[in-house]
Amino acid sequence: MAVRTYALQSSCYRASDMIDNKEKELVAQGKAYQEAIMGAAEEYAIECSLLKFIGSEVLDYCVDENVQIHGGMGYSEELSAAGAYRDARINRIFEGTNEINRLLSVDMLLKRAMGGKIDMMSPAMAIQKELMSVPDFGGDEDETPLAAELKAVKNAKKAILMVAGAAVQKLMTKLKHEQEILMNIADMIAEVYSMESTVLRTQKLIATKGEAETALNVDLTKVFVSDAIERVNLHGKHALQSFAEGDELRIMLMGLKRYTKYETFNTKDARRRIAAKVVEEGAYCF
């Protein structure tokens, strides 16, 4: 619960900061305040769609675990766990259902790419060439804090480009009718956005507080990346198996595996350290 909350919090901080900065930039350019607000919201509409379904599903996970932790009393109206569980359910429906927000996030991204606002073609073509090259087995070790996690984020982005690029190339205008594939891609994007936001936040904390003071933040980050990279692989696999077959599928699955590798890490011990801190503080405290 703490790991997923930390990642969600990091993503919300990041998106809200970008929206706030964009609003100030537009006001400085002479835009009216209301126009600046709308312009900033439009600029980061994709991130907002992602965070709507990420946030409501993290909430669902936490209230469900909360009931489980309380046992039978969690099901009783005598405690607040049951009410929180019941009340959380509506969030996946209103303000645009989570399914709609998944479809919207990918649709907006592809429209911006086709409109030339975002260059996805060049990176996608580079990924195709890279797939045919010899894999990078690593060289000099990067000693920067969370360097392995940043590398995982970079590679996961390549996995998205590979899957999304192949889907567009293969299905073209039919892709809009393949909602399952679009939602697989949206889930990949959501995981990578959360991963990157979490890593960037923790790196900033390390820079300001030092490694000793942020050891648990590093645990939270590494556990989340370890979990998320596996989910990226799973969503990618589901998408690829929906439209590719034979040698084409085999090559892309190999590429997906290549782009979702992450160094081994004892998540069990890290989770215990995180849980001990939560119990000690009696609250989420990161």
Task: With a cut of 70, list the residues of the chain below it in pLDDT.
Answer: 135-140
DSSP structure string for 151-167: HHHHHHHHHHHHHHHHH
Query: So what's the pLDDT on residue 277?
Result: 97
Q: What is the total residue count of the chain?
A: 286
Nearest to 258 by CA among 233, 238, 235, 239: 233
Among residues 62, 56, 39, the alpha carbon closest in space to that of 102 is found at: 56
Q: What is the pTM of this model?
A: 0.94
Dist CA 282 CA 279 (whole Å): 5
Report how far residue 48's alpha carbon sits from residue 41's, in angstroms, rounded to the nearest whole number. 8
Helix (H) or strand (E) holding 20: helix 2-28
CATH architecture of the region 2-92: Up-down Bundle (1.20)
Query: How many Cα atoms within 13 Å fall on the side-chain side of residue 108?
Result: 17
Enumerate the active-site residues: 95
pLDDT digits (tens, 9 = 90+) for 149-198: 999 999 999 999 999 999 999 998 899 999 999 999 999 999 999 999 99
What pLDDT score was predicted for residue 124?
80
Closest CA to 285 of 68, 7, 12, 6: 6
| Residue-level pLDDT at 116 | 86
99-281 matches 2-92 in CATH topology: yes
What pLDDT score was predicted for residue 136? 66
Find, among 23, 65, 2, 20, the residue nearest to 286 by Cα: 2
| Predicted local distance difference test score (pLDDT) of residue 128 | 80
Q: Where does 99-281 sit in CATH, by number?
A: 1.20.140.10
Question: How confident is the model over 247-268, as pLDDT tens digits?
Answer: 999 999 999 999 999 988 999 9
Query: Which DSSP symbol is given to 95?
Result: S
Per-residue confidence (pLDDT) for residue 143, from 0 to 100: 80
Query: How many Å apart are CA 158 and CA 26, to the nearest integer?
Result: 32
**Residues ≥6 apart with Cβ < 8 Å to 230:** 260
> CA-CA distance, 221 to 202, in Å (whole number)?
7
Note the maximum CA span of the chain: 62
221: its two tokens: 């980050």
pLDDT at site 127: 85
pLDDT of residue 121: 79
- The pLDDT assigned to 25 comes to 97
Please state the domain extents for the chain. 2-92, 99-281
Q: What is the pLDDT of residue 129?
A: 82
Close Cβ partners of 243 (under 8 Å, ≥ 6 residues apart): 166, 167, 170, 171, 178, 181
Q: Which helix (H) or strand (E) holds 37?
A: helix 33-43
Structure tokens at 88: 């959380």
Tokens of 282: 């009696």
- Cβ atoms of residues 10 and 194 within 8 Å: yes
User: Which whole-number Å values give the CA distances from 66 to 6, 55, 227, 274, in the listed order?
Assistant: 17, 16, 20, 16
